């Protein structure tokens, strides 16, 4: 009987190992298939960190290329983002490099205590690694992301302003705990895109997470986040506001507000998506609208973000 128990325990152990191996293999296959972008790793402290890189072929000769860092949302991975945002095809057309970093526990350390990883140190090390490997323009490095990745882009605007020229935050404002600690070393341009019917990150600020679900900390309102960066950039002018044309009848509308004239030519841009949910505008409806809200197709976030980045550079 004892021998039978030992054999069962051994078989159970083999089964656990086999399942774990299949999961690792599945993860690696997903990484390999993600838009064909090669998987890279870098050691930061005691952790091995992963990221995907897309490099246009060929890069424009004779001049360094901009770099766009694209951060996944909470619960996601780097491989989610190439197909979700379609930055690769835009990079091929306009000649910039895209990197898709991966978090440690499927969450970025954006100030809400979702992760204990030193993700700011990871991004700094990653930029250095990419600058050594490719002809990157150090004055034109940008960060964008959705949800947790958008919140984390705000943290980079606070703590990595010596490297990041501008950020764009989709379906995220600023984490409430980040605001009192945010001390950027220079002015920085910021763009927000946010849906009025985002059920996870309330546009008016409050508890982050699905109604009646687990709290993921708190965020400040979109209006307060835009005001925060206008104060940092010393922008006092009134915005230029415009309702964008309705391209498709999906019951969403888009209003753009642009505050210009900031120190070092910075600006703050806000796209408010009336009827939009917790989604990437112009992207797929990755979950039912009843869960995350509607994905608007009256705005294509990726080219709009790139057009904004193109106007920004470090002094």
pLDDT in the model for residue 12: 39
Domain ranges of the chain: 1-33, 37-310
| Closest by Cα among 8, 59, 50 to 32 | 50
Give the DSSP H/E element, type plus range, for residue 81: helix 80-85
Query: How far, in Å, CA of 52 to CA of 79, rounded?
Result: 7
The mean per-residue pLDDT over the stretch 252-277 comes to 97
Which band of pLDDT confidence, cut at 50, 70 and 90, is reported for residue 15? very low
Q: Is the pLDDT of residue 1 over 70?
A: no
Find the mean pLDDT for residues 93-114.
94
Q: What is the dihedral of CA 276, 268, 109, 198, to 10 degrees?
A: -10
pLDDT one-digit tens code per residue, 214-248: 888 999 999 999 999 999 999 999 999 999 999 99
Residue with tokens 């986040």: 225
What totals of helices (H) and strands (E) does the chain contain, helices first? 8, 12
How many percent of the chain have pLDDT more than 70? 89
Flag whether pLDDT at 21 surpasses 80: no
**Per-residue pLDDT for 113 more than 90?**
no
What is the average pLDDT score of the chain?
89
- How does residue 210 score in pLDDT terms, banded at 50, 70 and 90? confident
Average pLDDT over residues 82-88: 95
* CATH architecture of the domain covering 37-310: 3-Layer(aba) Sandwich (3.40)
Neighbours of 269 (CB within 10 A): 24
Residue 255 makes CB contacts below 8 A (sequence gap 6+) with 241, 242, 243, 244, 271, 272, 274
- Contact, 132 vs 140, CB < 8 A? no
In this prediction, residues 177-193 reach a mean pLDDT of: 97
Query: If pLDDT is split at 50, 70 and 90, which confidence band does 153 have?
Result: very high
């Amino acid at each position: 009987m004892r021998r039978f128990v030992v054999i069962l325990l051994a078989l159970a152990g083999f089964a656990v190992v086999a399942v774990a191996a299949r999961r690792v293999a599945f993860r690696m296959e997903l990484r390999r298939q993600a838009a064909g972008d090669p998987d890279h790793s870098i050691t930061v402290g005691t952790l091995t960190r992963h990221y995907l890189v897309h490099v246009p072929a060929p890069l424009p000769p004779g001049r360094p290329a901009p770099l766009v860092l694209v951060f996944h949302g909470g619960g996601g991975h780097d491989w989610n983002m190439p197909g979700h945002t379609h930055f690769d095809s835009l990079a091929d057309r306009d000649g910039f490099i895209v990197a898709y970093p991966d978090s440690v526990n499927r969450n970025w350390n954006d100030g809400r205590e979702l992760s204990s990883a030193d993700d700011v140190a990871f991004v700094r090390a990653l930029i250095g690694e990419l600058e050594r490997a490719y002809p990157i323009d150090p004055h034109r490095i940008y960060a964008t992301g959705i949800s947790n990745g958008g919140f984390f882009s705000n943290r980079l605007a606070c703590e990595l302003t010596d490297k990041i020229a501008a950020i764009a935050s989709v379906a995220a404002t600023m984490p409430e705990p980040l605001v009192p600690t945010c001390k950027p070393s220079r002015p920085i341009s910021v763009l927000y895109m946010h849906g009025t019917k985002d059920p996870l990150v309330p546009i008016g600020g409050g508890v982050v997470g699905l109604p009646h679900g687990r709290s993921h900390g708190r965020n400040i309102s979109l209006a307060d986040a835009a005001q925060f960066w206008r104060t940092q950039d010393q922008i006092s002018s009134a915005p230029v506001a415009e309702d964008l044309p309705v391209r498709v009848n999906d019951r969403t509308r888009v209003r753009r507000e642009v505050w210009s004239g900031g120190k070092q030519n910075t600006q703050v841009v806000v796209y408010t998506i009336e009827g939009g949910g917790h989604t990437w505008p112009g992207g797929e409806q990755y979950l039912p609208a009843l869960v995350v809200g509607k994905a608007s197709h009256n705005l294509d976030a990726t080219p709009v973000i790139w057009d904004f980045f193109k106007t920004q550079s470090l002094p």
